[in-house]
Amino acid sequence: MSKLFRPWRDHSFQLLALALAIAAFALSAVIFLRAELDQRFSISTAEALGGDLVLASSRAPEPKQLSQLGEFKTSQIIDFSSVLVHNDALLLVSARAVDSAYPLYGQIQLAKNRFGEEHAQQHGPAPGRVWVADQVIDRLNIKVGATLTVGNKPLQISAIIRQLPDQNAGFYSMNPRIVLNSVDLEATGVMGPGTRIRQQSMVAGNSESIKNLGLELDKNLRPDQSLETVDDAALRSMGPLRQLSLWANLAVLLISLLCGAAIYLATSQRVRPRAS
């Protein structure tokens, strides 16, 4: 037992062991930090995008494309501009019609009144209901529970939108936002010829299947269609993560160099007496 602890009495051996431990800890910390950042960034990117893959177009996908999407969990949403009518007041808004699967990722933050507390919800509004942004409440001077007319369809306000998980991905507008159920869309009559819409097919799945789906869809894209994946979105928004990773790697490199110098000096001190 005494032979086991004898080297630890040497200060140079203690310095050598400390340098090795610091270097190993620094390298392990950066590896785990990068893995954690990549995982969290991938999840947040999928939430912001609305899915692992998004097929966007100005009209409905082709039947063949719908059959390819049918193998996955999907959500169909339609973004368009419309005018709200309340009494004699008119208000131009950015409207979104969502199905029962929306949202695929994240949660919707809502409130029951203008300054009410937020609560999370994992599905869109019920048929006959509409969610509106704060600006709609203020500009039309109405409250939750009032009825608004979207096109030809009267809809009751059931909540105020605080945050949509994917509102930073293609749903940005200077106009106030509203969200309705896609079941009510036809009754509004706003989807007539010439109406400008943005239809998005959001898809959730594992990375390998999404990659294969993207390759298949890319072969038959119409001129008005575009594909976007989590990897594509991440490439555009990974600037801060790359900078953080760069600084972390530089810090580990510096620590490794200092530890290497300490190991060299400690080894030299241990070898010198034996050489003499």
Which segment, 8-12, 176-180, 187-191, is predicted with the most confidence on average? 176-180
Nearest CA to 203 out of 10, 15, 73 is that of: 73
pTM of the model: 0.68
Q: Using the predicted structure, report yes or no on whether residue 168 has a pLDDT greater than 70.
A: no
Number of domains in the chain: 2
DSSP SS3 for 225: coil
Q: Is 58 part of a structural domain of the chain?
A: no
- Say if residue 173 is in the same domain as residue 266: no
Q: Is 195 part of a structural domain of the chain?
A: yes
Alpha-carbon torsion angle 46, 50, 53, 56, nearest 10: -150
Q: Using the predicted structure, report yes or no on whether residue 165 has a pLDDT greater than 50.
A: yes
- Say if residue 140 is in the same domain as residue 197: yes
Range of 114's domain?
A: 73-204
- Say if residue 77 is in the same domain as residue 180: yes
Q: Residue 127 region, left (φ>0) first, then alpha (ψ -120 to 50), else beta? A: beta
Q: Using the predicted structure, report yes or no on whether residue 12 has a pLDDT greater than 50.
A: yes
Q: Is 23 part of a structural domain of the chain?
A: yes
What confidence category does residue 131 fall into, taking pLDDT thresholds of 50, 70 and 90?
A: very high
Q: Is 62 part of a structural domain of the chain?
A: no
Are 83 and 71 spatial neighbours (Cβ–Cβ below 8 Å)? no
- Say if residue 27 is in the same domain as residue 77: no
- Say if residue 141 is in the same domain as residue 248: no
- Say if residue 128 is in the same domain as residue 186: yes
What's phi and psi for 238, nearest 5 deg? -90, 10
Based on the number of CB atoms within 10 Å of its own CB, is 231 exposed (0-12), middle (13-18) or buried (19 or more)?
middle
Q: Is 41 part of a structural domain of the chain?
A: yes
Cβ neighbours, 10 Å, residue 107: 15
What is the rounded distance in angstroms from the CA atom of residue 260 to the CA atom of residue 120?
A: 52
* Residue-wise burial string across 147-163, b where 16 or more C-beta atoms lie within 10 A, e elsewhere: ebebbebebebbbbbbe
Q: Is 222 part of a structural domain of the chain?
A: no
- Say if residue 171 is in the same domain as residue 132: yes
Cβ neighbours, 10 Å, residue 262: 18
- Say if residue 254 is in the same domain as residue 164: no
- Say if residue 83 is in the same domain as residue 132: yes
- Say if residue 34 is in the same domain as residue 123: no
Q: Is 228 part of a structural domain of the chain?
A: no
- Say if residue 137 is in the same domain as residue 259: no
Q: Is 26 part of a structural domain of the chain?
A: yes
Report how far Cα 73 is from the mean position of its chain's Cα atoms.
Answer: 17
